[in-house]
Structure 1
Amino acid sequence: MQLTVSILGPLQAHTHDGTPIPIGGARLRALLIRLAHDPGRSDSVATLTDALWNETPPDGAANALQSHITRQRRTLGTP
C-alpha cells in the first residue's frame, strides 16, 4: 500500500486515494515520524527505543518496541 505521511505541521498519514489514516498515541506517532523522516534507512533497536522513550526505556524495551511496530503496521496496512 502506498502511503503519504506529512510530518511538517500536524502529523498526518493518507492512503494513495487521500483517505486519512488514524495514527494513534504519542509513541506510535513518534515511531511513524522517526521512520518517515528518512524512508528506506534501517534504524537500530537502540535508535528507535531512544526515539520512543528517550532516556527512560521500559524493562523489555525491545519487546515493547516490537509491539509498537506491529501495531503501526496493522494501522497503516503494511506488511
Structure 2
Amino acid sequence: MKLKELNDIKQKCYDLENDLENERNKVEFYENQRRKEDQVVKDLIAIKYDIPFTDNIQLQVTTVEKYLKILNFSGKTSSH
C-alpha cells in the first residue's frame, strides 16, 4: 500500500472518529434539554396544582397531558 493511501485511510478514520464524537455530543445535549423540559413541566404543574415538590414527584399521564395542552404543547404527550 502506498504511503499516501495509508495516510488517506488514517485521515478518514480520524474524521469518522471526530464525526462520531460530535454526534455523541449532540445526543447528550438533546437528552439534557429533554430532561430540563421535563423538569420545567413538573415544576409548573407543581406550582399550578400546589403539589409539594420532591425529586421523586410522580404525575399521572392525564394531568401532564392536560397541562401540556394548556401550555400550547398539544403535539406533545407525557412521554416527550
TM-score (norm 1): 0.30
Q: Larger % of strand: which?
A: 1
| Bigger relative CO (Cα 8 Å, ≥ 6 apart) | 1
Q: Larger % of helix: which?
A: 2
TM-score (norm 2): 0.30
Report which of the two structures shows the higher radius of gyration computed on alpha carbons.
2
